[in-house]
Chain A
């Protein structure tokens, strides 16, 4: 099925570890983005990309890196995980006004 695929669905990290959250879409959307969702705070934009080779920061970019080498993939890298990065992470892609969200990655940093 066409859509946005996020892996893994669940992850537990120790403080200081690094990891990459994967996001792939097969709809040929130029725009992709990463959000984190915390209780009582809604979703907040981490980074976004308007096309391959182009990325920009969102509202809460510190501690995260992104790159966009292909249209399909937009991985999110945690450089040195901290407990404050415990959250649910959503990837989304868009062509125009229509947005498609992935099912999320639940990350716990201990």
Chain B
């Protein structure tokens, strides 16, 4: 059974810092990996999708990497802003199913 772990569970940083969120998964047989953002009381917004054949994806200040063989992904956020405060969820996808981590709750202080 696929298990997805995210570390740390919570993170508080001052505005402007670069930061890394970590995601690990136990079964490397994945179709893709996605990073989502969830604001309090809201649904999930897809941030980045990495296909299993890719190593990284970038969108603005966000960069996600994937090392399938070691079962790891990282989400790098550059020059963090208070508006980045949210919970970030990692999910691996295979055989019509997403397996989610429990998320990293990020607080960026002004």
Contact = CB atoms under 8 A, between A and B. Distances in A.
A104 B42 contact: yes
Contacts, number: 53
Nearest to B32: A97
A43 B43 contact: no
A68 interface: no
A2 interface: no
A44 B91 CA distance: 11
Interface in B5-60: 32, 34, 36, 41-46, 49, 51
Task: Using C-beta atoms within 8 Å of the partner chain, give the interface range for chain A.
Answer: 20 to 34
Main secondary structure of the interface of B (DSSP, over half): strand
A92 B34 CA distance: 14
A45 interface: yes
A43 B89 contact: yes
A31 B31 CA distance: 16
Interface in A38-97: 40-45, 48, 50, 56, 58-59, 90, 92, 97
B37 to A, nearest CB: 11
B61 interface: no
B81 interface: no
Contacts of A42: 4, 89, 100-103
A105 to B, nearest CB: 11
A98 B45 CA distance: 11
B98 to A, nearest CB: 7
Interface in B86-103: 89, 91, 93, 96-103
Interface of B: 4, 32, 34, 36, 41-46, 49, 51, 89, 91, 93, 96-103
22 contacts: A33-B98, A35-B98, A35-B100, A41-B102, A42-B4, A42-B89, A42-B100, A42-B102, A43-B91, A43-B98, A43-B100, A44-B100, A48-B97, A50-B96, A58-B97, A97-B32, A97-B34, A97-B51, A97-B93, A99-B46, A102-B43, A104-B42
